[in-house]
Amino acid sequence: VHDLLDVILHEGDLVARYASAAQPAMRAQVLGNIEAFTELALNLDAGRYPSLPKFIEALRTLRQHAESDAPDEAAVDATVDAVRILTIHSAKGLEAGIVVLVDANHSDPARDDCGILCDWPQDSDAPTHFSCFARKDERGAARDHLFAAEEAFRMQEDWNLLYVAATRAKELLIVSGVAGSRGALPDGCVEGSWYHRLSHVDERVADAPADAPVARTSVGPAFELPIYSPAVLAADDGTAEETVRNDAIDEGIALHTLLERLTQFNVWPCRVPEPDRIARWLDCPPALAETIAARASRMLATAELERFFNPKHFRFARNELEVVDGETVVRFDRAVVFDDEVWILDYKRDLLDSERAGYGLQLQRYRDAAGCVFPGLRVRTAIITPDGRLSEFD
């Protein structure tokens, strides 16, 4: 995914084009977002399975979590020359020359017909009263003084919010509201609303001279870019190669998942189920299930590998072990702890000579991370391939 984004950015000259389209005040943030997006693609899942569907699914998950998070209060740069829309709570501590208070002609909130009534004085270790309440006509008279106190607190808080809103303006406060219809005064004011409370204040209208010059803000340097005209490529170029690559990725992910499920309980011998059952487990095509069943059977039947899966040979084993390495997280396919050493195993579909250097750097990083988790033990790393071959890297 990272390589694909890199090609898109460079062939489309997108960095310069986004910079030219963005407002000067937002240009640095836009370019920073592009850089952060490409970095996210590189760091996703420690860079192990950089497939496009997995990346899109991760983005969807991040978006769902972001929508459920509470917004940051006053997460605004006060120096930006722009209109800021804030709640009153988030505007505390901020000031502006002109402040518009919108939707100020509203009535009291709907009646609270159920809830908890709690009276807990500040100097007490426990509440002096705690009870549930329902509709007003079902509350009785014994708690009237508590409800009266609660209403007084609510009114005071309402006045406090109005004070905060009104005092944000250093030069001009504009109070706006929609004329009410139900229960409103003849002029549309809702009695008791903030608009009604401020309606007795004399309005001041500032008349600007007709020939007043319009202030112009300085902008950054203009961008001039040639019209982007990419070369036309044949639609089927690379299609077959990409299909093969995607099939290999799917097979690798399915084999990882199957081995994790078969070895998670450290039971020996570890029996591989029939392909049709594997297909139901992993929700994969029967042909793929048959392929990975044969590969997993060969790996688990290899005598050299038995000590990594048979619990009588090791002290502890864990699949998909995540370890914090600096600011990122690395994930070991399988970590197996013996009396004097620990093995970090990585499953690979193939191990080509051209890939050894890259895998060597990856496993060196694994050894460094595991050394902090297993002090005093020798850390060894190896790659296991479906043919049952163990290739140690040191």
The pLDDT value given to residue 371:
92
**Is residue 382 in some structural domain?**
yes
Name the residue range of residue 28's domain. 2-68
**Is residue 90 in some structural domain?**
no
Contact 382, 347 (CB under 8 A): no
376 & 323 share domain:
yes
Write a three-state SS string for the chain.
Answer: CHHHHHHHHHHCCHHHHHHHHCCHHHHHHHHHHHHHHHHHHHHHHHHCCCCHHHHHHHHHHHHHHHHHCCCCCCCCCCCCCCCCCCCCCCCCCCCEEEEEECCCCCCCCCCCCCEEEEECCCCCCCCCEEEEECCHHHCCCCCHHHHHHHHHHHHHHHHHHHHHHHCCEEEEEEECCCCCCCCCCCCCCCCCCHHHHHCCCCCCCCCCCCCCCCCCCCCCCCCCCCCCCCCCCCCCCCHHHHHHHHHHHHHHHHHHHHHHHHHCCCCCCCCCCCHHHHHHHHCCCHHHHHHHHHHHHHHHHCHHHHHHCCCCCCCEEEEEEEEEECCEEEEEEEEEECCCEEEEEEECCCCCHHHHHHHHHHHHHHHHHHHHHCCCCEEEEEEECCCCCEEEEC
**Is residue 161 in some structural domain?**
yes
Domain end point (choices 198, 226, 256): 198
**Is residue 237 in some structural domain?**
no
Cα distance between residue 112 and residue 151, in whole Å: 11
* Residues of the chain above pLDDT 70, percent: 80
Cα distance between residue 342 and residue 380, in whole Å: 6
Check residues 129 and 91 and name the one with the higher pLDDT.
Answer: 129
Domain end point (choices 27, 49, 68): 68
The pLDDT value given to residue 364:
93
Mean pLDDT of all residues belonging to the chain: 81
Question: What's the one-letter identity of residue 349?
Answer: R
187 & 101 share domain:
yes
The pLDDT value given to residue 194:
79
Check residues 177 and 299 and name the one with the higher pLDDT.
Answer: 299
Check residues 361 and 90 and name the one with the higher pLDDT.
Answer: 361
**Is residue 215 in some structural domain?**
no
101 & 193 share domain:
yes
Contact 309, 271 (CB under 8 A): no
The pLDDT value given to residue 73:
46
Domain end point (choices 68, 85, 105): 68
**Is residue 294 in some structural domain?**
yes
Tens of pLDDT along 177-223? Answer: 888 777 778 777 888 787 888 877 777 666 656 665 656 555 555 55
Check residues 382 and 238 and name the one with the higher pLDDT.
Answer: 382
**Is residue 240 in some structural domain?**
no
Check residues 308 and 69 and name the one with the higher pLDDT.
Answer: 308
Determine the average pLDDT of the residues in 149-153: 86
The tokens for 74 are 């006053």
Task: Answer whether residue 173 shows pLDDT above 90.
Answer: no
Tens of pLDDT along 260-297? Answer: 999 988 889 899 999 999 999 888 899 999 999 999 99
Task: Answer whether residue 75 shows pLDDT above 60.
Answer: no
pLDDT band at 109 (very low <50, low <70, confident <90, very high): low
**Is residue 369 in some structural domain?**
yes
The tokens for 96 are 């502006």
The pLDDT value given to residue 216:
58
pLDDT band at 156 (very low <50, low <70, confident <90, very high): confident
Cα distance between residue 303 and residue 306, in whole Å: 5
The pLDDT value given to residue 226:
64
The pLDDT value given to residue 387:
92
pLDDT band at 240 (very low <50, low <70, confident <90, very high): low
362 & 389 share domain:
yes
Q: What's the number of domains the chain is made of?
A: 4
Tens of pLDDT along 19-60? Answer: 888 888 788 888 888 887 777 776 765 555 556 777 777 777
181 & 255 share domain:
no
115 & 181 share domain:
yes
